[in-house]
Structure 1
Amino acid sequence: MTPDLIDTLGHSTIQHGNGSDRVYLMELNDNDMPGLLPEINELAERENYGKIFAKVPAGWAETFLDDGFLTEALVPGFFRAEEDGHFMGKYLDPSRAEDPRQEEMDRILALANEASVRRSNAGADDYTVRRCTLDDCEVMAERYDDIFASYPFPVNDPAFLAETMDDNVAYFGAWQGEELAALASAEQYRRGGHVEMTDFLTVPEHRRQGLAGHLLAAMDRELRRRGLAVAYTIARALSAGMNITFARAGYRHAGTLINNTQICGNIESMQVWYKNLA
């Protein structure tokens, strides 16, 4: 499946396509408002997308609410540690606003919240965690291609990994000897003062070693040193392991994005978690 297209509207960054069947306003530029909203709506209607998802500064939230958006998650101090961030959804397909797996999602979220009081990054003594370099891009792409049948971004393309590594993404890996066992990335939005912890992967034979937790701890330390104020993630709601990993690392739950993101061929609901790094 072809990843959705990353593009610009004015000075704002969007992603859209049939994969996640949505328009995603990734980064809103104030200079584009309020005219950006009609453009996004027109694009979504023209392409018959089922949802618009937007990360919105609190100062513009009322404008989006008046346009039919809902705040699905709220991250305090998301923008430059000064302004809250609203993760907002507008459902052009009303059936998409409900997830029949809600009961299972609630059960997993309860497990994660319970696990948050028992923090542990034990194990992984045989592994080395370090930041990835351009020399690692080929094997990184192979790992992503092996694990994800489809993904919102082309992480199975070495050229994409190299390009983003040179731009705003820090990739981290866990190695056992010469073997790459796990991966994750930190996508930095310096203008907004926040970073997304994402693209987690563990090779099946290396699971249950707590590698995601070790990668997350390393990224938290690195991004704190770089002066990013808030870290967050958008985790698969049905992944108990990932939600528990973030809860144990001191992240707080911000809300649920219903039927939001296509991963491995299915559109899934996602949980938003955040942590203050400052």
Structure 2
Amino acid sequence: MQPDEITHLGKSLVQHGPSNNRVYLMKLDQDDLPEIVHEMYELARQKGYTKLFAKVPANATSHFAALGFVDEARVPFMHKGESAGYFMSKYLDQRRAIPTNIKRMSAVLDQADQKSEITEKQTDKNEVVRLRLGNVDELAELYATVFETYPFPLHDPSFLSKSMLADTAFFGIFSDNKLVAAASMEMDMDWQCAEMTDFATLPEYRGQGAAGKLLATMDQAAEALPIDTAYTIARAESFGMNIVFSRAGYAFGGTLHNNTQIAGKLESMNIWHKHIRSKGAPV
């Protein structure tokens, strides 16, 4: 299945399409308020999508709440280190609002909480390195091997190149000159936050602490930049990734129900966040 289209509504960046069956407001331009709320709804209605999803700063939430959006998750200090970022949703089919595996999702959060203070065992002795344009082919191959489908076209070297040249730093682990694990730090210098995402490890190299090493390196990289908050959107049914973020000092921020299509099915996603620097209480 083709990844959803990334385009603009006014000056704001959105993703929409049948893969995730939603309209996702990725980056709001304040000049588009309040019209963009209705434009998202109209686009979803025309295309038959079942969910509207928006990442917005605290000062914009009232416009979305007025049309029936609810905040499913929030990240303190996400917007310029001063106010919270909200992940708001509106379901056009109420069946989508109900998670399909609540028992497992609850077990994942319980395990993440219980293991938050346990030091992760790392048997992988290879170092984490910053990936460059010369690595995009092998990076694309890694993502194509690990993910049958993914919300963004990580299997496409041209997409990875554009991302690197824009606002995304990729990091990887090599074993015998082969890329075996990778992740990315997607930086928003306007909001002064970074999303830690796109974690992938080849099956035969799992269980050696690669994800934890990648995250630790990206956290250190964020500390050297004008970034106040790091966050992630992790699969709510994945014990491994939720535990990785909990152990790294990230706090749970909420769950996005049936939000993202991965490996052929819609999955609920957990928000985790970490303050790199603190400037006071979030709004």
Are 2:69 and 2:88, in contact at CA under 8 Å, matched by a contact in 1? yes
What is the CA distance between 1:121 and its match in structure 2? 5.3
Scaled by the length of structure 1, the TM-score of the pair is: 0.98
Instruction: Give, in whole Å, the separation in 2 of the partners of 1:177 and 1:100.
Output: 41
Give SS of 2:171's match: strand
Matched, 1:175 2:163: no
Give SS of 1:19's match: coil
Superposed CA offset, 1:210-260 (max 9, x none): 000000000010111012111000000011000000000000000000000
Question: Which residues in structure 2 correspond to 1:153-232 (within 5 Å)?
Answer: 153-232=152-231
Matched, 1:11 2:11: yes
Instruction: Give, in whole Å, the separation in 2 of the partners of 1:185 and 1:103.
Output: 30
Matched, 1:52 2:52: yes
Instruction: Give, in whole Å, the separation in 2 of the partners of 1:119 and 1:57.
Output: 34
Structure 2 residue aligned with 1:251: 250
Aligned residue pairs total 277
**2:62 is aligned with what amino acid?**
E
Instruction: Give, in whole Å, the separation in 1 of the partners of 2:23 and 2:219.
Output: 29
4+ residue stretches of structure 1 with deviation over 2 A? 119-123
| CA root-mean-square deviation | 0.9
Q: Provide the identity percentage.
A: 45
Give SS of 2:39's match: helix
Give SS of 1:156's match: coil
Give SS of 1:259's match: strand
Question: Which residues in structure 2 correspond to 1:75-114 (within 5 Å)?
Answer: 75-114=75-114
**1:103 is aligned with what amino acid?**
K
**1:207 is aligned with what amino acid?**
R
What is the CA distance between 1:35 and its match in structure 2? 1.0
Instruction: Give, in whole Å, the separation in 2 of the partners of 1:116 and 1:12.
Output: 37
Structure 1 residue aligned with 2:32: 32
Instruction: Give, in whole Å, the separation in 2 of the partners of 1:34 and 1:119.
Output: 47
Are 1:119 and 1:249, in contact at CA under 8 Å, matched by a contact in 2? no
Matched, 1:236 2:235: yes
**1:174 is aligned with what amino acid?**
I
Scaled by the length of structure 2, the TM-score of the pair is: 0.96
Which segments of 5 or more consecutive residues in structure 1 lack a partner in the other structure?
none
Instruction: Give, in whole Å, the separation in 1 of the partners of 2:145 and 2:176.
Output: 20
**1:212 is aligned with what amino acid?**
A
Instruction: Give, in whole Å, the separation in 2 of the partners of 1:46 and 1:60.
Output: 25
